[in-house]
Structure 1
Amino acid sequence: MHTFDVPVRMLRSDKPVGRWSLDELTDSSEVRAMAYSAMSAEGFEVQRICERMQLRPEASATQSDRYPHVHQLLFWQAAESVSGDPDIGLRICRSLPLLRAGVMSYLMLSSPSIRHAVLALAECSHLISDGLELKIDESGAEASLQINASPLSSPHMRHTEICMAYTMMKFLSVGMSQPIKPVGVAFQCKPIAPLAEYESVFGCPVVLARVEN
């Protein structure tokens, strides 16, 4: 198997998480904190969104805290309702903080190659979210990072799909001797904003409504 000596194409796959039932899946508190931070930075009313969910922003939550993964769906439903923006996930991408990810950052930085770093990230993806699966496809001329951001099936989960792809791209581009720069990103969700807006955010060609075989 070769090392990652070519730009990485980031995709989202749709392969389900089979180890747990949906109500057993949890997310790191960092996932929620990143969304709160980005929304606040972009001027969205986080307090109103949380009130709609009957939750409160956990400013004091520690990185060891976990929350039900299904809360993501409730959160995005509330976020769309309060903001009136059906593409709010795309809007907040640039303001998402860099993923800290604790031990995952250490494993990535201590890896002997980019390929080993991505493999380590894939092995520990559950530390971010039990719903997150990362796989590497090296069968083509360009290596592909396949991201299954969530097994939840809902149009509102497009925001998790987009934000997680951006988060992974940003995480892999920082702290590496050879930063990973995607040559393209493909999503299964349908476009809402003009294609140029997605490409401006991700800095590369974007394909939407992609169907996985």
Structure 2
Amino acid sequence: MSAPLHQHHSPIEPTILASWIRALCQTLRGYGVHPEPLMRQCGMDAGLLHVPEARYPTAQVRRFWQAAIEHTGDPLLGLQMGEEIQAPSLHALGLAMLASANLSELLSQMARYCKVISSTMHMALRHDRSGSALVIKTLGGSEPNHAARVAMLAFIHRQACRLSQHPIKPTFVALAVEPTPEYSARLDNYFGVPVTLGAEQDSIGFCYSDMLEPFAGANPMLVSLNEQAIRDYLSRIERLRFADRVLEQIRRTLPEGEPRLGDIAQTLGVSQRTLQRKLNQEAQSFQGLLDQARRQQAEDLLQHSTLPIVEIGYRLGFSDPSNFCRASHRWFDCSPSELRERGRLVAT
């Protein structure tokens, strides 16, 4: 059951796991809303939904939540998503949850590794005489109506009931959601307790007897394997060079036109001077990374697509075909058409 996580997209900005968004898309379909047009409006590539390790920028996801709520007309869309998302879609973290010994271990896993799901999410466990509570926060803002945090708490409660094989009643649920009678009725019915709305933070509590009740499906070996996969994944993210982050952002921006140093610096949250200094420390330059990104995309598009050569040049930021031709000679020691022909000969 171990599902190793491999990094496809550098977290150059706050990101959210694509499979979490896939669950939201499935929920939208239940409302009769097609998610793909909404994703395009928010600048999201729907093709990443089926890449297990892919991630979306948080800013795009929050716009997507806004559009999703508007099109469904359901302010508690997050609650519905929390009822439907399946643990295995969270890969190694979800599989570790399914193999956990009890609710205490499950909540500890979520608190330690929640950044696999969202790099802006922070969870903390608190304990007192009455039991334990899981508190959720998101850095740098939130989705409309705290939708993602509501979804997460609903998902956790459903897993607690499923793995315990009987209903688990929280000691309390508190949400920073606007208090309305309609919201209260739906939330109270789902969690089985009166939910406090308008709270300062989103949290859920459980008594110690429920926290420590053994789960029938406990498997320490699977927990260990999947937690190691999670740690390896998070460690790879943290070790990324700054130049790798700049290069990834250049690759994302290139189809929209030639990336400018100032725009890339702003996306990364640094000044132009800081960006140049950090690249210099790694013996890199912005122009060199831009050239590297263009070279890689030129080779890929010329050998693996049927796009006209002139269009490929435009996509790479060459408004003049002769400039693209000169760059091709510098990169590959041949013209774009000759490189394309080489690719065809190799293929046959």
Q: Distance in 2 between matches of 1:120 and 1:85?
A: 30
- Give CA deviations for 1:97-149 in whole Å, capped at 9, x if unaligned: 2222222234334444432332123211111111222211112312111122x
Cα pair distance change 1:107/1:80, threshold 3 Å? closer
State whether residues 89 and 163 of structure 1, in contact with CA within 8 Å, keep that contact through their aligned partners in structure 2.
Answer: yes
Whole-Å separation in 2 of the counterparts to 1:52 and 1:82 = 13
Task: Tell me how far apart the structure 1 counterparts of residues 14 and 143 of structure 2 sit (CA, whole Å).
Answer: 19
RMSD: 2.8
Letter in 2 for 1:163: A
1:156 Cα deviation (Å)?
1.2
**Farther-moved stretch of structure 1 (79-88 vs 193-202):** 79-88
Q: Pick from 153, 170, 180: which aligns with 2:158?
A: 170
Counterpart of 1:116 (choices 92, 95, 105) is 105
Q: Which amino acid aligns with 2:160?
A: L
* Structure 1, unpaired ranges of 5+: 1-21
Deviations 1:53-82 (A, max 9, x none): 244533752221111122221112212333
Please say which structure displays the higher CA radius of gyration.
Answer: 2
User: Equivalents in 2 of 1:67, 1:59: separation in Å?
Assistant: 8
Whole-Å Cα distance in 2 between the matches of residues 115 and 93 of structure 1?
20
Q: How many equivalent residue pairs?
A: 189
TM-score, normalized by length of structure 1? 0.74
- CA change 1:47–1:105 in 2 (3 A) is closer
Match of 1:43 in 2: 32
The aligned counterpart of 2:6 is none
- 1:75 paired with 2:94, answer no
Q: Provide TM-score, normalisation by structure 2.
A: 0.48
Find the residue that maps to 1:70 and give its secondary structure.
Answer: helix
Q: Secondary structure at the match of 1:58?
A: helix
Unpaired stretches in structure 2, ≥5 consecutive residues = 1-10, 202-348
Measure how far apart 1:92 and its partner are.
4.4
Structure whose residues are more often helix by fraction: 2
Correspondence list, 1:34-113, <5 A: 34-58=23-47, 61-94=50-83, 96-100=84-88, 101-113=90-102
Matches within 5 A, 1:148-159: 148=137, 150-154=138-142, 156-159=144-147
Q: Does 1:190 align with 2:178?
A: yes
Indicate the percent of aligned positions where both proteins have the same amino acid.
Answer: 21
**2-structure distance, mates of 1:130, 1:42:** 28
1:143–1:178 Cα change, 3 Å:
farther
- Separation in 2 of the partners of 1:81 and 1:202? 25
Distance (Å, rounded) in 2 between the aligned partners of 1:205 and 1:154: 24
Q: 1:179 to 1:83 in 2, by over 3 A?
A: closer
SS of the residue 1:145 aligns to: strand
SS, match of residue 134 in structure 1: strand
The answer to whether the 8 Å contact 2:18/2:48 transfers is no
Once the two structures are TM-superposed, the CA of residue 184 in structure 1 deviates from its matched residue by 2.5
Change beyond 3 A, Cα 1:160–1:117: closer
